[in-house]
Amino acid sequence: MLGQQFSCYYTWCDKSFNSKYNLKRHINATHIGIKKFNCEVCSKKLVSKQNLTEHMYTHTGEKPFRCEEPGCGKSYRQSSQLSVHKKVHKRNQKKLGEKKTKSKEISDQEERDQLSLDGLELPPINFESCFRQQNIKLPIYHSLLI
């Protein structure tokens, strides 16, 4: 069973926390925007020490959050960016599982290459023909781009 929960009192926010301290920190950072942490390099103000630490990587160029997926090697400045990136691998793994049941002919590496979003080249879209089909006249600056 969960202990006492402290809910955010902003009507549009559904967050709750296990301590008053965490609730107060959430409200100050998210809703009020109190920024107590200053970057000594560029004077930017941030809401948390973690945000300041990750902000400093923009000055040093460091990307300490590395993807552990074999063959990936991508690195990020923020842990949240790595978390978003990891979801790509999970989606690809799910798609790989579905494809394997349909076809055993393609090797694992070829499947990963097919599902990879990196280096994806889409055919050019002929916007002019789309507008012609809808009988819409393009503004002159759009016509110049096509």
Which CATH number does the domain housing residue 21 bear?
3.30.160
Q: What is the pTM for the complete model shown?
A: 0.47
Crossing angle (nearest 10°) for helices 79-102 and 108-115: 120
Residue 6 lies in a domain: yes
Q: For residue 29, what are the domain limits?
A: 1-34
Residue 113 lies in a domain: no
**Residue partners of 67: CB distance under 8 A and separation at least 6:** 73, 74, 75, 82, 85, 86, 89
Number of domains in the chain: 1
Model confidence at 15: pLDDT above 80: yes
Determine what percent of the chain is predicted with pLDDT higher than 70.
63
What is the predicted pLDDT for the residue at 133? Answer: 53
Q: What are phi and psi of 133, to 5 degrees?
A: -60, -35
